[in-house]
Amino acid sequence: MRHAIAPPLAIFDLDGTLADTAPDLIATLNVVLVEEGAPPVAREAARDLLGAGARALVVRGLALSGRQVDAAGLERLYARFLIHYRAHIADESRLFPGVEAALDGLAAAGWRLAVCTNKLEDLAIDVLKALDVAGRFAVICGQDTFREADGRPIPKPDPRALLMTIERAGGTPARTVMIGDSKTDIDAARAAGVPVVAVDFGYTPVPVRELSPDAAISHFDELIGAIDAVTRLAA
């Protein structure tokens, strides 16, 4: 009996990869900071604060003014962050240029598409719905989609987040490529044994080309060619 071959699978990070969500994230951070009597941060300076989730963003934002917060205080600020962000999730967020054409091209070539992000799953779905692309993805997985036995979430760079996204999407690691913008994505892909294409316009304090992805692109027009190259290398 012949077994069906899993379709090739392209898994995307969200913030800083598919979409420039920084304006809404940073605007929300500044609401929280100002309410706490801390100075707001400039958008340009804050982009490097992104990529590790909302709790880390709050901690990093406070640290810029020399402030710290205990665990209980962080949960209070995190809850406040989520309330504001849910109400303003895509006021200014936009897909990066070329995203829709690249998704169309991959789908036409037989690729299945998925998202694996460290955003909460429901927030990721809401953003992608607001940007009118949620329906293009077979699955949208966030940092809380998969959990340990004790309930703790499994976020990237834990490779299980990526591997379980692959499984949920009906793919196999051998026929998957990751597209991301940071060390978190590259480390997750490496540990999962999946080739990775990095965009160089995302949210990372270290230039992504210095992190040795399998390929790096500066525009989504380059994505399909880069995927072809790294999947040939991985074959």
Q: Are 155 and 209 within one domain?
A: yes
Please tell me which residue, 7 or 104, carries the higher pLDDT value: 104
Please give the pLDDT value at position 194.
96
pLDDT value for 162: 97
**Is there a single domain that holds both residue 74 and residue 180?**
no
Q: Answer yes or no: do 115 and 192 share one domain.
A: yes
**Same-domain pairing of 119 and 230:** yes
Q: Output the domain CATH number for residue 143.
A: 3.40.50.1000
If asked whether residues 60 and 160 sit together in one domain, one would say no
Which letter does DSSP use for residue 214 in this model?
S
Which distant-in-sequence residues (6+ apart) come within 8 Å of 60 by Cβ?
A: 49
* DSSP label at residue 96: P
Domain that holds residue 106: 9-20+93-234
Q: Is residue 198 part of a domain?
A: yes
Q: How many domains does the chain have?
A: 2
Q: Are residues 190 and 114 in the same domain?
A: yes
| Phi, psi torsion values for 20, nearest 5 degrees | -85, 90
Give the end of a domain, one of 55, 87, 119.
Answer: 87
Tell me whether residue 185 is one of the annotated catalytic residues: no
Residue 164 belongs to a domain: yes
The pLDDT of residue 69 is: 87
4 within domain boundaries: no
- Is residue 147 classed as helix, strand or coil in its secondary structure? strand
Please check the confidence at residue 1 and state whether its pLDDT lies above 50: no
CATH number of the domain where residue 66 is located:
1.10.150
Residue 52: predicted pLDDT: 75
How does residue 5 score in pLDDT terms, banded at 50, 70 and 90?
confident
With a cut of 70, say whether residue 234 has pLDDT above it.
Answer: no
Does the residue 107 lie in any domain? yes
Same domain, 135 and 229: yes
User: Model's pTM, two decimal places?
Assistant: 0.93
**pLDDT tens digits, one per residue of 147-198:** 999 999 999 999 999 999 999 999 999 999 999 999 999 999 999 999 999 9
Q: Residues 13, 158, 185, 214: which is the catalytic one?
A: 13
Looking at the fold, whether 15 and 26 belong to one and the same domain comes out as no
| pLDDT (tens digit per residue) in 185-233 | 999 999 999 999 999 999 888 899 999 999 999 999 999 999 999 987 6
Residue 207 covered by a domain: yes
pLDDT tens digits along 55-103: 889 999 998 888 888 999 999 999 999 999 999 999 999 999 999 999 9
21-34 average pLDDT score = 94
Judge whether 26 and 41 are in contact, CB under 8 Å. Answer: yes
Question: Above 70 in pLDDT, residue 3?
Answer: no
2 domain residue, yes or no: no
8 A C-beta contact, residue 131 and residue 93: yes
Question: Do residue 99 and residue 68 come from a single domain?
Answer: no
